[in-house]
Structure 1
């Protein structure tokens, strides 16, 4: 939800469509600089969460950040950028900060993963008491983006020194585009058997629920409305009724807009809730 007009506006927007959790940016996601957060911003945000009983606020980090970059200038800038976002989350009382692991560009995959681990270790050393957990997001695997194989995230989680301060956010569109089938029940079970073995459900802290405009294994990240894309409604039925996901907050990143006076957010939410047995 948009933070235009104040962080509390994102909570109010979520409440209007009867959502009980919310994802937001804690700064402009396409800029490095950030406007200072005031005490009033924090108070209004926390009051809105309490008033509307919106829980598990989740912050999504800037798309500019690339902890895997082989270019020192961008790598350093990315570390500072993510550090700033961790501090802003702490101020706002947001427990989890999700970010895309990064792209290794002309470097090797292994070198990219090492850069990510080194960057996260440095962040933890510089912010030893920050309570914010960094969530590595599963990716579709466009270009040289890291995170489209569960093994990538496993390597990072195992490589980081303070492993308890890092977890995972799973995106349904991304894993499908990356080549993990989840529509058929048999495929769904097999995919999450792999996830459990390589990452573990104890490391799953958030789920982005999105259908995919592109095919299985396309490695193209294009989100669609629930049940209207290539994944189809069956996969979301499995997720909605799998006890392993019962206490994991789930967030829509489906296209915005409305149809016949009903917002797409309301429509997607109603579809998901209708699938709960």
Structure 2
């Protein structure tokens, strides 16, 4: 789930491209290749880089075009946004002037809206809902957002697959796929991107098999894809912390779904441990994934050219993402045993140690409680069986 960047501008203080005037700093010849945190701040976009990192940026209540301004200010080569309020079913139509301004700014700053922009769908939408009235409401909102994207010239749209809400899993997946087919038939070119989930409760999409089964039922497979969120992936039990485990997860993805469907990624560390099923985003390097996961990611060829979107906590300052973008770009070409990488990894790990310990303690206590409940249930069943005899 995107960070609190979507909160109303009235509650936040931000720097946008209109006010940020941080110049690109030219590195002196022979200067030491230092990690971004210790080097002078550089928030200009990195040209000709194949790993297109950006963030889910806010509009600050100034229209969708301001998302581009904010992306420019943090040096992003890709970006995500909401095309309407993510917590309302309906919103006023996009103004013609705002549509034109959005497209003009994208062209001016050389953002390919078909490839570099990844809107996030409303949290309210659940296309697997068995209740006909609620399903129709969700589908109407879904279609509205897709059509807004097409008005803006955007080629990708990412959303959460939803929840079964207790409905039979197969029936829920069929309802979701049917909704996607309906939406595709009523739109022109937008590609619908299913995001993998952390696995809490009845959520759909926490396994590669869920996503495979939905895609299998979509008629026009050229217009469906997958967004892999690193935090969700880890929370769902897929270990991506080393080169070996990272490669295995992608081998499984390719075998089960197919890499041809991979359309984007959300880059988030995880506050919670492996297999926690908890969607708790953390800043890069501070969580249980650690910087090594992202070093491996930033040197993975099949991720080149995809929008790689940060949804990390921004601490009420989008410059948090500017620093993380430069940190991630700095990792390109780096080896695990690079002294500066080792040093940076340790620094970031130390910063997040307290939160990791707290979350691990919570998970351990939860596991103990669950085990006691299980044992109690077994004892109860055994006593009942004995009394029946």
TM-score range for the pair, normalised by the shorter chain length: over 0.9
1:258 is displaced (CA, Å) by 6.0
Instruction: Please name the residue that 2:90 is paired with.
Output: 33
Q: Is the 8 A contact 1:19 1:54 kept in 2?
A: no
Instruction: Please name the residue that 1:73 is paired with.
Output: 133
Summarize the alignment of residues 152-231 of structure 1 with structure 2, pairs less than 5 Å apart. 152-231=210-289
Structure 2: 5+ residue runs without aligned partners?
1-56, 334-389
CA distance in 2, matches of 1:202, 1:237: 23
Summarize the alignment of residues 104-143 of structure 1 with structure 2, pairs less than 5 Å apart. 104-127=164-187, 130-143=188-201
Measured against aligned partners, the alpha-carbon deviations of 1:154-192 in whole angstroms (never above 9, x if no partner) come to 001111111211111111111110110000211111111
1:198 is displaced (CA, Å) by 1.2
Q: Match for 2:111 among 50, 54, 63? A: 54
Q: Match for 1:263 among 316, 319, 331? A: 319
Instruction: Please name the residue that 1:6 is paired with.
Output: 63
Higher fraction of strand: 1
Aligned-residue RMSD, C-alpha? 1.3
Tell me, yes or no, if structure 1 residue 92 matches structure 2 residue 152. yes
Q: TM-score, normalised by structure 1?
A: 0.95
What SS does structure 1 have at the residue aligned with 2:118? strand
Greater shift in the superposed pair: 71-80 or 60-69: 71-80
Measured against aligned partners, the alpha-carbon deviations of 1:122-159 in whole angstroms (never above 9, x if no partner) come to 222333xx110100001111111100000000001111
Q: Is the 8 A contact 1:29 1:64 kept in 2?
A: yes
Instruction: Please name the residue that 2:365 is paired with.
Output: none
CA distance in 2, matches of 1:233, 1:21: 21
Tell me, yes or no, if structure 1 residue 276 matches structure 2 residue 336. no
CA distance in 1, matches of 2:183, 2:191: 11
Tell me, yes or no, if structure 1 residue 20 matches structure 2 residue 65. no
Larger Rg: 2
CA distance in 2, matches of 1:101, 1:7: 24
1:52 is displaced (CA, Å) by 2.1
1:222 is displaced (CA, Å) by 0.9
CA distance in 2, matches of 1:119, 1:198: 23
CA distance in 2, matches of 1:105, 1:6: 34
CA distance in 1, matches of 2:229, 2:320: 19
Structure 1: 5+ residue runs without aligned partners?
none
CA distance in 2, matches of 1:164, 1:102: 22
CA distance in 1, matches of 2:277, 2:311: 18
- Higher relative contact order (CA closer than 8 Å, sequence separation 6+): 2
What SS does structure 2 have at the residue aligned with 1:273? helix
| Count of aligned pairs between the two proteins | 273
CA distance in 2, matches of 1:222, 1:35: 32
CA distance in 1, matches of 2:283, 2:306: 20
Greater shift in the superposed pair: 70-79 or 214-223: 70-79
